Amino acid sequence: MGQVIEVDNQRGETHPLLTETGTGGLFSAGYLRDRPAGAYLEDDETPVFLLTNGKRGVEIDREDGTEQLTAGSGYRTIVVLTDRRLVILVGDSDAVSVDGDQCLTVRLVDVDGVAAETGRREGRLSVTRTSGGTLTLHAGADGLDAAAAYLTAASQAWIHVENTLDDVQRSLVAATGHCDAGEYDAALEAAQEAYHGLNEPRRAANRFDGEWTASAMVARVDQVQRRCASMLAEARLGRARRFSDDAEAHWRDDEFEAAHDAFDDAREELETVLTYDSAAVSDRDAVHEERDRVERVTAELAAAPLRRAVEADRDATDADDPADAADHWDDALEAYCTVLELDWGADERRFEGDPDQLRERLGEVVERLVSARRTAASKAKRAGDWYVGAEQYEVAIEEFEAARDQYDLALAVARERYAGATDHLTVEREAIESRVERTTALRDGEEVGPVTTPDEDADTEGVFDVEATICDGEADTTVSVDGEDAPDSEGQTDETSEVAAIDSSQNGSVERPDR
């Protein structure tokens, strides 16, 4: 006579039908011949019902006919309804093609219909497969309806879970394609869609597990969830790499705030990945190292604007030539302004540099910049005066124009940041413009009223070498003048000197040195 046994999984007890082998005696039924029934189950598979019969075995109805499988003498047919499959075991099967026990399995997701028929002492359970064909299992009548109810509920739950997981896996396939194409934003969106799609199968699996203490469905959802987490990690790591590359590009273009934002985004992605389960992240140590690198580089970025300003400040202080110094002061001014404007209006500054100290130094830099421009202009003006005295008018004009350019640069800064210096600089620039006009007239042979060079600019003794601030390949870089001072490269602006008109009666001679 057959049996139907509901396994008590909550107590953790194992029924002998799952652990024993061998034939039965005169008053006892046997088991399987080769291995116990439990050996045919997966490690994470839970038995819920056991159905047995001695001689009736199992009938398989197909389109081409019916096949009857029965157990050998002294053995039984044992059917295990698990949380994943229908496992049919025929002890020492009489099938010609089988030597020993015969095993047939049907996944619960492949069950299309279940019907139970019971008599006074015996019953039979018919299982229709989605692929076609019906299996008829013989067992005892007592408990068969409960087994049929379980099989129906389990198969329907599995079908529902797998159908919803199909949608999840389609999203995972899309995410994988986006990752392979480097489209990490789209990959993350698809992976998140897949992850959110787990909510319904998770609820169904938990409900089934709570009712039957059967965890295979939960394990199946967990398996897909691990794939989702791995894809989320891959997409976020791709985004982190892209953010880091973007940050480096912004930094090279001096877009410091955008660079910091991108590094922040990269660090956020990496920290999110580190919250995932270890199984989702193949190389957690590498992610830690990349996160640490991003933090280190971000700290370097935070110091870079101020460091550049300080370096320009130092270069200006160390420069010997006033024009070079002015250019460095100009760089320092721009750099300090950049540092001061970073994170303007933000509650918390991300870049190094105290705003009050920056403003104070900025004022000093402006003064030194204007002073250096004025000194460079004075140097060029004195050189121009000397070249006029040497009747080298083209070179003189170049020197005066260089002086005028320096005044223009100084005025541009003064008008915006040093208003007190604009009037004085404007007067000096006008004087330079007058020199350009007079020297141009001298060069062109026009009449220019005589102007006497001030006595303090004359030196009746000695010969001086003069280095021009601007000189092309055709002009002399050194001239000898008897009875006149050469322009002092470090001299200050002479407010009262005029362009000297040299006539043939003036003492002294101008000689071109041999090359």
CATH code of residue 75: 2.30.29
The answer on 73 and 194 residing in a single domain is no
The answer on 507 and 383 residing in a single domain is yes
260 occurs within a structural domain: yes
Residue 28: predicted pLDDT: 58
156 occurs within a structural domain: no
Q: What is the pLDDT of residues 151-170, one digit of tens each?
A: 999 999 999 999 999 999 99
Among residues 248, 282, 316, which one ends one of the domains? 282
Among residues 89, 107, 142, which one ends one of the domains? 142
Residue 415: predicted pLDDT: 95
What sign results for the dihedral spanned by CA atoms 371, 376, 379, 383? negative
Residue 148: predicted pLDDT: 96
The answer on 133 and 240 residing in a single domain is no
CA distances from 330 to 283, 326, 368, 409, 413 (A): 49, 6, 10, 10, 9
Among residues 82, 107, 142, which one ends one of the domains? 142
290 occurs within a structural domain: no
Tell me which residues of the chain have a pLDDT lower than 50: 26-27, 452-515
Residue 1: predicted pLDDT: 66
Residue 42 phi, psi dihedral angles, 5° rounding: -75, 160
The answer on 81 and 210 residing in a single domain is no
The answer on 260 and 135 residing in a single domain is no
What range defines the domain where residue 75 resides?
Answer: 3-142
The answer on 347 and 232 residing in a single domain is no
The answer on 194 and 250 residing in a single domain is yes
The answer on 123 and 36 residing in a single domain is yes
Through-space distance between the first and last CA atoms of the chain, rounded to whole angstroms: 128
CA 351 to CA 298: how far, in whole Å?
Answer: 10
The answer on 167 and 138 residing in a single domain is no
The answer on 320 and 422 residing in a single domain is yes
The answer on 265 and 120 residing in a single domain is no
**pTM score, two decimals?**
0.74
Q: What is the pLDDT of residues 228-283, one digit of tens each?
A: 999 999 999 999 999 999 999 999 999 999 999 999 999 999 999 999 998 899 89
The answer on 57 and 202 residing in a single domain is no
60 occurs within a structural domain: yes
356 occurs within a structural domain: yes
Cβ-Cβ contacts under 8 Å for 291 (sequence gap 6 or more): 267, 270, 271, 274
440 occurs within a structural domain: yes
CA 211 to CA 88: how far, in whole Å?
Answer: 24
269 occurs within a structural domain: yes
Query: Total structural domains in the chain?
Result: 3
24 occurs within a structural domain: yes
Residue 85 phi, psi dihedral angles, 5° rounding: -140, 170
